[in-house]
Amino acid sequence: MNNCEIVVEFVCPEPNTVFAPIEYRSRLEKVRAAMHRAGIDLLYAASPESLFYLSGYQALWYQTQVLENWVPIGGIAVHVDHEEPILFDSEGEKSLCRYTTVTRDVRILDRRDMALMDFVVDQLKREGWTKGVLGLEMYSSRPPRAISEQFQTKMEAAGIGRTVDATAIVNHVRHIKSPQELAFTRTAGRIAEVGLEAARRAMRPGVTEIEVWGEVMRAVAQAGGENPSITLPVDAGPKSAVPHSLPSRRVICRGDIVNVDVCAVYNRYHSDCSRSFSIGAPLPQVAAVIEKSARSFDILLTHAKVGRPVQEACDALKAYYKEAGLWGDQWWTGGYELGCAFPPSWVGPWSYDVDVDNGAKIFESGMVVNYESDFYLPHAAGMSLLIDTLVFEGDDVQFNNRLPKDLIVVE
């Protein structure tokens, strides 16, 4: 055997799966039940979140930018009538599969080229799984739709009768978190608090946004956190009104409002926490707006109860904002699901918005969602970005971060 064969076959780090096998079995049972209800015979899931959720697979690169000879079609095949799924990948990731996954049926192609797609189709046809309806995650960034269209064409040529979008299958199942997932989320909340305290300590006139970001990331890593699925924002002064901008070399100045959003991660589970800072004493009118915005979280906690309509809480929030004189100056007031996520986004598919009709949505036990109360400030001071995470467990509803939501003044 040569060095390649020895290392690939026999060298492997200690396995790094974060859930017990029984939890993965439960997830697969729920997914197959959802497939049965949707009339889907075969689900081929290739999004990073679905791969992680169903098998434990996680990586730092998913080939979303297609190389000429390395096509991002590795994934997990789940058949509605078979208990064991099949995980497919290329030879270069064989050790990674052993390191991160609990899936027992792992099939590896010996070459890293376009033939991986043909290999997957051939193996599924040999199993008799290329019949009926195929479900693909068409809203996922991985694989790009151009690649999944090629895969769809080959699968239909192999016998699949029809292909449908099945993005919602795994998403809906993972919407309600298990006790272990909620525990990971709570740990992420503690790590977020560490990150925001590091930001407070690092902030002073003359320091750049990116220096503050670096201190936040160092503190988060030292606390056991991982890389978040979006680069953490640090926005100061006029940039506080541009919350989706990257941390820059802009120097923080006295009088700046600075927004720091720490969405901390533990075992890939996110907890979002953003606070607004003032470098020196703020103008009274600026402080008043941020204080009123912070009070909205009390309104939300009063109305966001398990089993209650989401619209009820949104109506109460809108009434409060109007009474407080804030309505009309909002950047966004709403929230979205949080959970396991990988770059480029931690934003989950389920959302609610104070300014829209939320239909029949209700708050359910096992949900994890954030809430953003984001308002433009008087005197052209920028924007305040206040965010916290709600965890619903049993009949209990709590914010996941213990830091006060008021403006933090850095002297």
What mean pLDDT do residues 160-187 have? 97
Are 296 and 354 in contact, with CB atoms under 8 Å apart?
no
What mean pLDDT do residues 138-162 have? 94
The chain-wide mean pLDDT, for the chain, equals: 95
For residue 5, pLDDT over 80 is answered with no
Catalogue the E-assigned strands of 17-105: 42-45, 75-79, 86-90
What mean pLDDT do residues 39-60 have? 97
pLDDT more than 90, % of the chain: 87
What SS3 string covers 345-386? ECCCCCEEECCCCCCCCECCCCCEEEEEEEEECHHHCCEEEE
Determine the Cα–Cα distance for residues 343 and 143; give it in Å rounded to an integer.
Answer: 14
Q: Place 59 in a pLDDT band, splitting at 50, 70 and 90.
A: very high
pLDDT for the residue 165: 98
pLDDT in tens, 274-296: 999 999 999 999 999 999 999 99
Q: Report all structural domains of the chain as residue ranges with CATH numbers, in order of start.
A: 3-173 (3.40.350.10), 179-410 (3.90.230.10)
Exposed (0-12), middle (13-18) or buried (19+): which is 359, by Cβ within 10 Å?
exposed
pLDDT for the residue 113: 54
Q: Place 13 in a pLDDT band, splitting at 50, 70 and 90.
A: confident
Determine the Cα–Cα distance for residues 148 and 310; give it in Å rounded to an integer.
Answer: 35
pLDDT for the residue 123: 97
Determine the Cα–Cα distance for residues 107 and 87; give it in Å rounded to an integer.
Answer: 6
Residues forming a β-bridge with 342: 345
Q: Place 96 in a pLDDT band, splitting at 50, 70 and 90.
A: confident
Q: Phi and psi (nearest 5°) for 260? A: -125, 120
pLDDT in tens, 207-219: 999 999 999 999 9
Catalogue the E-assigned strands of 239-358: 257-266, 269-279, 330-336, 351-353
pLDDT in tens, 97-148: 888 999 999 999 976 555 899 999 999 999 999 999 999 999 998 999 999 9
Q: Place 2 in a pLDDT band, splitting at 50, 70 and 90.
A: confident
Count of CB atoms within 10 A of residue 331's CB? Answer: 14
pLDDT for the residue 111: 65
pLDDT in tens, 234-260: 999 999 999 999 999 999 999 999 999
Q: Tell me the pTM.
A: 0.94
pLDDT in tens, 217-235: 999 999 999 999 999 999 9
The secondary structure of residue 271, as a DSSP letter, is E
Provide the residue type at 361 as one letter: K
Q: Phi and psi (nearest 5°) for 336? A: -150, 165
pLDDT in tens, 296-351: 999 999 999 999 999 999 999 999 999 999 999 999 999 999 999 999 999 999 99
What mean pLDDT do residues 1-13 have? 74
Show the tokens assigned to 118: 């043909």
Q: Place 174 in a pLDDT band, splitting at 50, 70 and 90.
A: very high
